[in-house]
Structure 1
Amino acid sequence: MLKEAIYHRPKNNFAYLYDEEAVHIRIRSKKNDLRHVILLYGDPYNWKDEAWQYKTKEMKHAGSDELFDYWFAAFKPSCRRIRYGFKCVDDERSVFYTERGFYNEAPKDCAIYFSFPFLHAVDIFRAPDWVKKTVWYQIFPERFEDGEPSINHRDTQPWGADPKKESYFGGDFQGIIKRLDYLENLGINGIYFTPIFRAETNHKYDTTNYLEIDPQFGDKRLLKKLVQECHKRGIRVMLDAVFNHSGYCFAPFQDVVKNQEKSSYKDWFHIRKFPLKEDGNLNYDAFGFEEAMPKLNTEHPEVKKYLLNVAKYWIEEFDIDAWRLDVANEVSHHFWREFRQTVKTLKPDVYLVGEIWHDSMPWLQGDQFDAVMNYRFSDTMIDFFAREKRTVDQFKHEVVHIMQSYPLSVNEVAFNLLGSHDTPRILTIANESKERLKLTYLFQFSVLGTPCIYYGDEIGMTGEQDPDCRKCMIWNEEEQDLDLFNFVKKLIAFRKEIRAFGNEGDFTFINIHPSVISYVRKNENEQLLFMINPIDQPVEVHIPIEFRGATEIWTNSFLTEYTSTINQKGFIILYSSSRN
């Protein structure tokens, strides 16, 4: 037994209150080292004959990554105070793991064990329930549809021309309203809009006025109509806010440009010295080194008040349902805590998504964001299915590692995307292989989280990095891949119709064939077996006994044989009632 590899920390993803009743506990050990782990838990004040009284629960092996095994237990304690420890068993011996280390016998004194001092409901990570059943569609408004040419930018190019960094094509709110039926038909029930506020660029990430709509999209009356039309269709609306930095033409920064150190707004930004620019170098912090995007000082009381009022305004006046926060990791945790409290007080079920590309546990403890843009998970899916750069084992290890990095309640609302305005299009990454893309979509839509489609990916649009990934949406059906559209539409329908397909089922990898990605989604009433063959030749698999005679839901046929052949770049999805 390698004791050095056994690890637990009584907070974050290792110990948390899942809801008002259930506590979740995890522990990590060296891969293939322990045979099983037993959780010991009880009220620290429950003593008898000078010994602490506890209950035991066998922990479930929840998965493995390259180096470690993960063990999991969920239980409903009879009290709101818990002390707990672990009995770790290998093939030769057992030891008891506590806050003070390892013991050969279970210590009688509960002070030695890990502590969950009190289960406070207010500390539960709470994301909106509606998110768990939402499929998002990201729209870059300038490139989706031109519904009102009269408000187009003066340099608007013909729709569908090759985009350049500075290109304008006339996409607007009226165009989006015009295409809501298309989105409803696809089955999406959430739209994420990149910024719509007044700015100097086509992408609008250089905000010049946070309280005004950019005139090339329409006006506030039209935005209200757009939100209302979305809500009529059961579609939630997420806006994008840039609070890390402003645009160069933001009035307070222009005041600093004009008045330099005499400006009353100089402390709104991170200025090291004046003048603002010397010998081609900036004397102020910015997004990257972009002169046109000066970084806001969110610790300044006036800046904080201004931005929090912005956050409230668009909820109060337009009833939006979610905020996506740009460059969120470069803004202080303190600001985001105040931000969450402000908007959640106003609208408790608003969904908050931070743009963070790396491990995000510090932002996902219930006091800041509900989710982040889950690029860690995206890269794992893309590297395996689209780029074909990972082995089956490497892929499974990475997925397990990411899932074990967060509480289950976080994974259920993770914002899972395959591409965005910041990345090459997924079909281009997949070397324009529709087969690879379909397998990527299948995995994305059949795991925990809330999936997002980047506009046009569902009809086979291609594009390299910006600006190529921001092409105009293709509306001519003869140029759309309708087979791919219907494939995605069917996945969305399954996710809505079958509880275990989405967020109401456990996720577990199983080993059926070394070349096949196999996993089970299961709840108390139903179970699904997914078998995905990513290689370029057919594979014969043996069907687990509990799925023999199950329904193959993609083809709506019954599987009666003990073995089955999965076509190259193909898949099988078996469904059965777990009561059988």
Structure 2
Amino acid sequence: MEAKIGYQIFPDRFYSYYNRGNVKWNTPIIAENYSAHTMYGGDLKGIQEKIDYLKELNVDFLYLTPIFEANSNHRYDAKDYFKIDPILGDEKDLKELIDALHKNNIELCLDIALNHMSNESKWFKSALKGGKEKNFFRYENDDFTYWRDHKTLVELNLENHDLQKLLWQDENSAMKKWMKLGVDHWRLDCAYDLGFDILKDVVKHIKSLGENHYIIGEVWSYPKEWIQVMDGIMNYYYTVIIKNMLNGSLKPKIAAEILKKTIKDSGMKILKSWNMLSSHDSPRIKNLFGDKWKLAIVMQFTLPGSPLIYYGEELGMEGGHDPFCRGAMQWENVKEGNKTLSFYKKLIKLFKDSEALRKGCYYEVISNDEDILAYYRKYKSIRDGKLIVINPTNKDKEIQLYFEESLLLDAMHLFDHFSDNELYIEMGSVKGKIPANSFGIFHMKPKEYNTYSAYKRL
């Protein structure tokens, strides 16, 4: 099992090829003038046009928020699961995008909201007239039920066997239709609403097309039980730990204890889960973490899991809560000298070059200072082991660290990938300094002698 790097795209805001939007691309989002019907015109062909950029960024998979015909720009209110929204393109555009992605070794994950659909769908209009589709929708207390009481999002009766066949079970079901076109994986919107039995059945039928297809669920809670049912989750549990530790409301020592238990309970399947910091549902990273944004991203890339980059974060895009986190991609900032982009590229390369970060186990590191978070990742060789140290305080720290690595010999030094900082070995422990509001990703390197190596038989 191996972690991969993902890239999330909100299709309407990435790149427009057909120019079918109703506002210009550089139009700022102004809350009082904004609605779910504001279309910037991003489309599938536009994504295909930018594959060279994604390839250069070196991501492994692309995650698109919903692309099915809908009544909004977010498209979580699907009107027809079997049809692509015409503003985005058609099946030919999707097939060409899939083929171009696969040619560049990039997988595609689509998003589907199985819990609810648009109140303007043909199925629901028939249900309102007493048609057979009435059984497709949840009905309680003499009324249909709606997701969080939004009247545009009517909930589906997923216990209905005919509906199950239409959505995921039959060979010509909606989910299997798109997979046969070449879609690799699925993200399940509101997976927490589906329940364990429905989730198990969806996974079983999707896996019937091949074990290499995986299901990731949107879950905003402790991973343990959910990760046993699906291949992974959107790990917002990590997000809240990182956020609270960096804003000072959670002691790093306590954060370390929570992380250790979470990762142990989740097992190695956590490598498939998406390490989240921001998305279309939350403020962007720089808005959320301020001047500690680099510390947050380092944790995103070094904790066990698959880092998911929300489009534009690598360029330094900012934005508050929805709708401001859904701004149009700032292509003008793809240029030499963009320090945020350079930082991301260096971190991505480190991740891709390191088996420890992609496959390695997580080891607790005990610090002499409760304000320091440290942990260790290792797969096979100590030479690829990574010691991550985070100092979220405003003070420089003298640190001494203790962890389960028997090959930390006095002939070893530890060097930071991102600075000239160096740590030293003292009888199996690690000591040195870490500056205020900084991080280190340290790798092991034996001290050089002319002829001697302490690792000659290790």
Same fold (TM over 0.5): yes
Corresponding residue SS for 1:405:
helix
Equivalent residue, structure 1, for 2:242: 381
Tell me, yes or no, if structure 1 residue 477 matches structure 2 residue 333. Answer: yes
Per-residue CA deviations over 1:483-531 (Å, capped at 9, x if unaligned) read 1111111111111112112322333222143332222222331222222
Match of residue 438, structure 2, among 570, 576, 580: 570
- In our comparison, the structure showing a higher alpha carbon Rg is 1
The 5 A counterparts of 1:429-448 are: 429-430=288-289, 432-433=290-291, 436-448=292-304
Q: Is the helix fraction higher in 1 or 2?
A: 2
Instruction: State how far apart, in whole Å, the 2-side matches of 1:492 and 1:402 are.
Output: 24
Instruction: State how far apart, in whole Å, the 2-side matches of 1:205 and 1:185 are.
Output: 30
Paired amino acid for 2:5: V
Equivalent residue, structure 2, for 1:159: 26
**Residue 561 of structure 1: how far off its partner (Å):** 8.8
Corresponding residue SS for 1:409:
helix
Instruction: State how far apart, in whole Å, the 2-side matches of 1:575 and 1:212 are.
Output: 49
Match of residue 398, structure 1, among 238, 251, 258: 258
Paired amino acid for 1:324: R
Q: What is the aligned residue count?
A: 428
Instruction: State how far apart, in whole Å, the 1-side matches of 2:308 and 2:51 are.
Output: 16
Q: Check the 8 A contact 1:447/1:502 in 2, yes or no.
A: no
Paired amino acid for 1:389: S
Instruction: State how far apart, in whole Å, the 1-side matches of 2:337 and 2:78 are.
Output: 36
Q: Check the 8 A contact 2:68/2:84 in 1, yes or no.
A: yes
The 5 A counterparts of 1:267-416 are: 267-272=135-140, 283-308=143-168, 309-317=173-181, 319-365=182-228, 368-385=229-246, 387-406=247-266, 408-416=267-275
Corresponding residue SS for 1:541:
strand
Q: Check the 8 A contact 2:256/2:364 in 1, yes or no.
A: no
Q: Check the 8 A contact 1:238/1:321 in 2, yes or no.
A: yes
Q: Check the 8 A contact 1:459/1:481 in 2, yes or no.
A: no
Match of residue 386, structure 2, among 528, 550, 570: 528
**Where does the alignment leave 5 or more consecutive residues of structure 2 unmatched?**
403-407, 447-454
Instruction: State how far apart, in whole Å, the 2-side matches of 1:479 and 1:207 are.
Output: 37
Q: Check the 8 A contact 2:413/2:445 in 1, yes or no.
A: no
Instruction: State how far apart, in whole Å, the 2-side matches of 1:156 and 1:552 are.
Output: 46
Q: Check the 8 A contact 2:260/2:364 in 1, yes or no.
A: no
Equivalent residue, structure 1, for 2:452: none
Q: Check the 8 A contact 1:474/1:480 in 2, yes or no.
A: no
| Residues 1:542 and 1:511: Cα distance change in structure 2 (over 3 Å) | closer
Tell me, yes or no, if structure 1 residue 148 matches structure 2 residue 18. Answer: yes
**Residue 410 of structure 1: how far off its partner (Å):** 2.2
The 5 A counterparts of 1:17-96 are: none
Identity of counterpart residues, as a percentage?
Answer: 28
Q: Check the 8 A contact 2:275/2:305 in 1, yes or no.
A: yes
Corresponding residue SS for 2:399:
strand
Paired amino acid for 2:321: Q
Tell me, yes or no, if structure 1 residue 466 matches structure 2 residue 322. Answer: yes
Paired amino acid for 1:331: L
Give the TM-score normalised by the residue count of structure 1: 0.70
**Residue 158 of structure 1: how far off its partner (Å):** 4.0
| Residues 1:506 and 1:546: Cα distance change in structure 2 (over 3 Å) | farther
Corresponding residue SS for 1:165:
coil
Per-residue CA deviations over 1:452-474 (Å, capped at 9, x if unaligned) read 11111122211111111111111
| Residues 1:559 and 1:333: Cα distance change in structure 2 (over 3 Å) | closer
Match of residue 539, structure 1, among 397, 402, 423: 397
**Where does the alignment leave 5 or more consecutive residues of structure 1 unmatched?**
1-128, 275-282
Q: Check the 8 A contact 2:315/2:333 in 1, yes or no.
A: no
Tell me, yes or no, if structure 1 residue 232 matches structure 2 residue 103. Answer: yes
Paired amino acid for 1:417: M
Q: Check the 8 A contact 1:424/1:466 in 2, yes or no.
A: yes
| Residues 1:557 and 1:418: Cα distance change in structure 2 (over 3 Å) | closer
Equivalent residue, structure 1, for 2:405: none
The 5 A counterparts of 1:237-256 are: 237-256=108-127
The 5 A counterparts of 1:66-145 are: 129=1, 132-145=2-15
**Residue 429 of structure 1: how far off its partner (Å):** 1.2
**Residue 478 of structure 1: how far off its partner (Å):** 7.6
Instruction: State how far apart, in whole Å, the 2-side matches of 1:332 and 1:508 are.
Output: 33
**Residue 248 of structure 1: how far off its partner (Å):** 1.0
Instruction: State how far apart, in whole Å, the 2-side matches of 1:266 and 1:273 are.
Output: 15
Paired amino acid for 1:142: D
Equivalent residue, structure 1, for 2:56: 185
Corresponding residue SS for 2:117:
coil
| Residues 1:570 and 1:362: Cα distance change in structure 2 (over 3 Å) | closer
Q: Check the 8 A contact 1:412/1:450 in 2, yes or no.
A: yes
Corresponding residue SS for 1:191:
strand
Q: Check the 8 A contact 1:191/1:238 in 2, yes or no.
A: yes
